[in-house]
Each structure stands twice: as C-alpha cells, then as structure tokens.
Structure 1
C-alpha cells in the first residue's frame, strides 16, 4: 500500500508549526528541501525527535541550498557535486533511515540541453548513485523539473536510457512532466520499473494534454503554474489507478507551492485541506 507525504515547499522554512500541521492532517511523511532546512541541517537528531513526537517520518530531503554543488552538466564540477551529495546522504539522510534521495539537477542552459551535456549528466548520476546505493542503501531519484536540464519527455527518456538502473532511479512529478510537454500517465507507466517515489501536483485545465513549449518562469511569477489536485491539468485518477494496479507500495508526496493570497488562495491549512480531501474523496485512498 502506498503512503502519502507533504512536501516542505508549502511551508517555506521548516518550523515546528509546519510539522504539527502535517500531523494534524494525518500525513505520515514529510519531504523538505535542504535549502529550506538550514535551521536543522546541522541538527538532524533534533529534527528526528520533533518528527517522531508527531508520528511523522522524513522520507527524503531534496538536494540544493547553500554550500552544495548541484551542477550535473559540467564534468569539472563532478567531483565536488558527488562529494557534497555523498556527505549529505551520510550525515543527514541516514539519520532518518531514508531509502531514496530526491535529486534536482541544477539550472537549464539558456538553450536546449545538448547530447553531450546529457551524457555528462548521466555519468555524474551514475557515479553518485553508485556511491549512495552501495554505501548507504539509498536509491538516487533523478527528478525532471521544468527550467532544469531535464524537462522535456525526450530528455526524460534519454536520461533513463543513459543511466544504469542499478544506480539511478526516477522520481517523477506529475505536473512537472505535464508542463514540460509530456504525458505523465504514459511516462510513469513507461518507466515504472525505475520509479523510486512519486510527486503529485496539478496544473490548470488549459494544460491538459500539453505538448507546447514549457511555460516560462515569468509566466509562473505572474500566475502560479502549480495547482491543487483536482484542478484538471493532470489525470491523477488514471495515474493513481495505474500505481494501484502495479502494486506500488512507495511514497507519494504532495509537492505544493506556498499559497498565493493575491490569487485567491487561503492559508496553508486551507490548501492542505483541499488536497487532503481530493485524496480521500476523489481518489478514495484507503489510508494515508
């Protein structure tokens, strides 16, 4: 049976109040971003105690933030990128018993990612993934993201074809795939054997079946691209049904941006309530 977590982006900085909110809604998992966790990154045991007291598990922590290289394209940065991530896996993720490591891969070049850059990215992922799985039993979950080097469906396919399945897994985000011009239903199904965890979020109905250019960051600043579950851009009912049919027993994270009051969104609790209700009433998940 799959389990559901809340992503840390919705809260911004990780504080006790946010952890309590997760517990109040009955979610068993939490997935923060390292850059929003700097008040805890040197105190993992204290964070674990705060989570344990609320019945919450830290399932992974996204990479990035101060003093961690996330350059997966430049071979001259490879040694530092690998060393920084191995150190974080060793010193932080192992404290929580994490079994996967969500990996963003830095900024997208001003143009499309080249075949040579893809090759270099795959090599870095392979070397890093080998270290994390062999040393810590942690699967490396490569995460396609709009405005990152891997955003388009053909880039996802190329990344997974160019990496070793013994060392590199796939952590798909349904809205990121959709906004990057891919079919999240088909891509999750096609690469299911590489999936280590999944992110759910939605997009606006106009993006249903989107195959056009990736929306820009300027568009996102003007009006949020990422929407609550049930908004209509992504067919989560089909994706969930596919995961159930396959017997998926991993984590699904609700990776939601902070609410924007200027766009009519309420506070964090209201936003979580909308998505919590979608899981229970639309997807009819048997438990969180």
Structure 2
C-alpha cells in the first residue's frame, strides 16, 4: 500500500493557518517538510508514496535532497519507494493545441518519467482537464471532436513515458472531462491500450454518479494502479469549477470504509481478475494523516485482504 501526498495538504498537520502557509513552510524548511512526510508514511506502515502537485511534487523533493539519487535514498532509508507519480499539469493547463505548450508539456512528462523510473516506480497517473461550470459561457462540450484532440496528446504522452519504462494511467478526477461512466468509456475507446492505461479513483467515480466497481471492471484490462478512496455520496454537478474545486471535493471524501464505496465488491473484483500491484490510499488533506493512514491500512488488512486472498 502507498499514499498520495495530497493526504498531507491540511494546515493543521503543519501547525499553520492556511494552504498558502504550507507552501511557505515547504520553501523555508524543505528538509523538515520532506522528512516529516516520509517519516509519517513509514510510521503508518505503508511502503510507497505518490508525489502530486506543489509543494508535494517531484521537483521540490529533488531540490530538497539534492538529486534524484538523494530523494530515492531518503525513501529507501525508511523502507519506502516511489509507487507512482501524479501529473497534474493538464488539469488546469493551457491549450494543448498550442505547439509551444505541447513542447513544454512533453519535456516535463519525459523528465518526470525518468525520475519515476529512477526511484523504482513504473506508473504516471495523469489528470485530464477540468470541465467548466455547467452554466459557464461559452459551455464546454466534452463531445467526440473534443475528446479526440485530447486523446491524440495522451497517446503520444503514453508512448513517451513507455520509452522510460513508465506506464501512463488516466485518473478519474471528479468534475474533469474524465469523471463520469460515459467519460471513461469515451477516452478509453479513443486512446490506444498499448500506451494508455487506467487509474480508477473509487471516491471520484462514486462522487460523479458512477459505480466504481462496474466502471473499473469494464476496463480492468487497462488497470495500472488505483486510488483507494471513499466518498459519502454523489457531488452536485453545479459546484463552481474554479481554483477552489478541490476544496469543495473534500466535504464528500472520508476515511476508507466510512463511505458508500462497496469495498467488498471492489475486493472481489481484484480477486476474480487476479489483480495485483499498488493500492494508493488517498485521504485528501487529513488533519491527522498518521491516524487516518493507519486506520485505512488496517481496514484493508482486516476487511479486504481476506476477500482478495
């Protein structure tokens, strides 16, 4: 089991007042920042991490530890490894049809894939662009022409990461263009399975009105890594999609086993399809991440592993 580092994006854990203060803390005390994260993950009994957005990203880690080797060594000293890496730059990015934007994007993905491979990982989880709020003008229609433009870029990115030994997997982010059951089917159809895989997030799928087990089973042959996260119910589609959208999501997420995801069915899916690999436990912005990670790990070990076998 691993954890996505968004888990640590709560001001209370850092003894500060707001998210901006977390960024300032990371810049002023980078060694303390990263050592506290890695020590807490190890103390929770997990074995991997998934870097995410700044300051919990790979660039900040490498800058802090001096090199890729230094970052890898810091993990190894605690019995940890880099399970996968989350790439968030597409979610709120610029127009990928712009050649300059695409060139920068490809360079960044290549560099990240090299880091993931060097640190023992083999998967890059990619979030697709966010939708627009439903009453926005002009509206954004996620139709076939739109999806084809995005899929062309994703296919090329998948081929690029594969050359570094890293598999690309699309993440089901709520309120993105890849969140509903239909969205997943559309982009799975338009991307090449030889180059593009799937990272279902159980909470984001349920929050988007989909059945996580049904959707994941339908594309089980594309499964690369999964985010094991729980949700209390379906989120309104009319939530404003702006810089605060991820904060809005947090009200619907909860500890593994405390929500409405059918985890026994999820475990049977893993068993029946002989799925193995990393389970990334994601707990958005936990005030007490140590206790939350331990509780989630214990839920998996006592309730789900006996089913999976």
TM-score by length of 1: 0.84
- In structure 2, relative to structure 1, the CA distance for the partners of 1:125 and 1:87 (3 Å cut) is same
Paired position in structure 2 for 1:259: 286
Write the distance in 2 (CA, Å) between the matches of 1:222 and 1:195.
24
The structure 2 residue matched to 1:246, chosen from 273, 287, 291, is: 273
Q: Deviations over 1:255-284 (max 9, x none)?
A: 111225xxxxxx222222221221122224
Matched, 1:200 2:228: yes
Q: Is the 8 A contact 2:45 2:294 kept in 1?
A: no
Question: Cα offset for 1:25?
Answer: 2.3
Correspondence list, 1:54-133, <5 A: 54-64=78-88, 71=93, 74-76=96-98, 77-90=101-114, 92-110=115-133, 111-133=140-162
Q: How big is each residue's C-alpha offset from its partner over 1:133-177, in whole Å with a ceiling of 9 and x where there is no partner?
A: 1x2121111112012221111011000000001110001100111
* Counterparts of 1:156 and 1:73, CA distance in 2: 21
1-side partners of 2:201 and 2:185: how far apart?
Answer: 15
Asked if 1 retains the 8 angstrom alpha-carbon contact of 2:41 and 2:290, the reply is: no
SS in 2 for 1:136: coil
Partner of 2:62: 41
Q: Which has the higher helix share?
A: 2
Deviation at 1:286, TM superposition (A): 9.3
Q: How many residues align?
A: 269
Q: 1:172 to 1:44 in 2, by over 3 A?
A: same
Which residue is 2:137 aligned to? Answer: none
Query: Does the CA-based 8 Å contact 2:250-2:284 persist in structure 1?
Result: no
SS of structure 1 residue aligned to 2:86: coil
Range 73-82 or range 189-198, more displaced: 73-82
Gap runs ≥5 in structure 2: 10-25, 27-32, 134-139
User: What's the offset of the Cα at 1:80?
Assistant: 2.9
Which position in structure 1 is the counterpart of 2:297?
276
Q: Matched residues in 2 for 1:69 and 1:142: separation?
A: 12
What is the alpha-carbon distance in structure 1 between the residues aligned to residue 68 and residue 307 of structure 2?
32
Alignment pair present for 1:216 and 2:235: no
Secondary structure of the corresponding residue to residue 174 of structure 2: coil
Q: Is the 2:230–2:259 contact (alpha carbons within 8 Å) kept by the matching residues of 1? A: yes
Q: Name structure 1 gaps, 5 residues minimum.
A: 261-266
Comparing 21-30 and 38-47, the one that deviates more? 38-47
Partner of 1:23: 42
RMSD: 2.5
- Which residue of the partner structure matches residue 234 of structure 1? 261
Mean Cα deviation higher: 178-187 or 142-151: 142-151
Alignment of 1:96-175 (within 5 A): 96-110=119-133, 111-133=140-162, 135-175=163-203
Q: Secondary structure at the match of 2:188?
A: helix
